[in-house]
Each structure stands twice: as C-alpha cells, then as structure tokens.
Structure 1
C-alpha cells in the first residue's frame, strides 16, 4: 500500500465519518486537501500545525492508489514535497483511522487504531 496521511480534528471528522467523501474546513480557501507522507514529515506537520491543539486529533491512513481525486506532490515553503489531494477524498481510500496522542513532551505520536 502506498500510504499518505491526513490529520483531522476528531469533532470535524465526526461530520464525515459516515459519508462517501471528506473535505476539510479550509478546502474552499486552499483548493486541495493537505496530506503528508512518512513519519518524519508527519512529525514536522504535527509540530508546526498542531502544537497548540488540545482536542482529539485523528490520523487518516490513506491508500494513495485508491484516491479518486488527483494527488500532486508539491514543494512547500519548508522545501519538502507534500501530497496534495485536488478534490474530495473518497472515504473508501482510508485504510484505517488512528488516534494521535500528545506526549508529555508536547509532541504528537501515532496511537491506536480507532476505525477504518
């Protein structure tokens, strides 16, 4: 499986968990869904974007080969390539959903599987 990740606050995901497609809050503004690939980039994103987040945070583990919308790898301002999903994410491409756990050091780590 060619895996990419997408982070989503738990309460927001609850609005989409039973739907065929997912789009994040900033989709209209951004024009794509932010995703990441690999544990190193995931750690960078959680540190940069979700450092102050205190609520439930979920990790969508996505099989990139099953995503129906176009996925483009684009260079971000940090110089790294990130997968961007240009269209809604079909939820049947989500292989599993994992909880993210904030450690005592304030860094997020991948936790237990919470669903498909």
Structure 2
C-alpha cells in the first residue's frame, strides 16, 4: 500500500485544520466514523464523484506512516481498497497542500 494518501477539502476546512493543527473530519467523515482518504490513482474519481463543480478546493497529501495503526485499507467504491483513518490527522502528517484548479 502507498505511504501517501490524499484528502480533498474546501478552503475553509483546510484553513480550520491549519488553525487547530488537527483534522477530525469533514461532515461525511464524521457521519461515517472515519476519515476518507484516496490513493493517488483514486483522487480524480473522488473529485469527480463528490466535488465536481465546487470551487476553492484544496488537495492535501498525508504521510500515512505518521498515522500508524489508525489507517486501514478497506474496500469501498467498486471494491477498490481506500485508506480510511480511524482517528484524527495532525497537521505534521501533511506533506503538501495545493489548490485544485477546475
């Protein structure tokens, strides 16, 4: 499994993460009980399915090694394995963040 995963966020969610130093999840994450992440080859489909047409989005790269055993690769969309985080993600696990251009 990859050592990096990605989270698509609104600019506001990213700003809140930076301000608090900890990400507890977007509304869908809180509802499902874990933080949804995507592997590099899953980001485009995740963006298309859940974020198409939205502006001011940020793609955050997360170092999964820093999250230890809170990460589980589980089957989701189409049976593909996705990284799910059962816990929070500290800001120091972020290795990059960039705006997503539509």
TM bucket normalised to smaller: 0.7 to 0.9
Unmatched tracts of structure 1, length 5 or more: 103-116
> Residue 31 of structure 2 corresponds to which residue in structure 1?
29
Residue in 1 that maps onto 2:42: 41
Cα RMSD for the two superposed structures = 1.7
The higher-RCO structure (CA 8 Å, 6+ apart) is 2
Q: Unpaired segments of 5 or more residues in structure 2?
A: none
- Equivalent pairs counted in the alignment come to 100
- In 1, distance between residues paired with 2:25 and 2:69? 14
For the 8 Å contact 1:4–1:61, the answer to whether it is kept is yes
Give the TM-score normalised by structure 1: 0.78
Larger radius of gyration: 1
TM-score, normalization by structure 2 = 0.88
Structure showing the higher helix proportion among its residues: 2
1:77 and 1:7 mapped to 2: Cα distance? 16
- 5 Å-filtered alignment, 1:75-86, equals 75-86=75-86
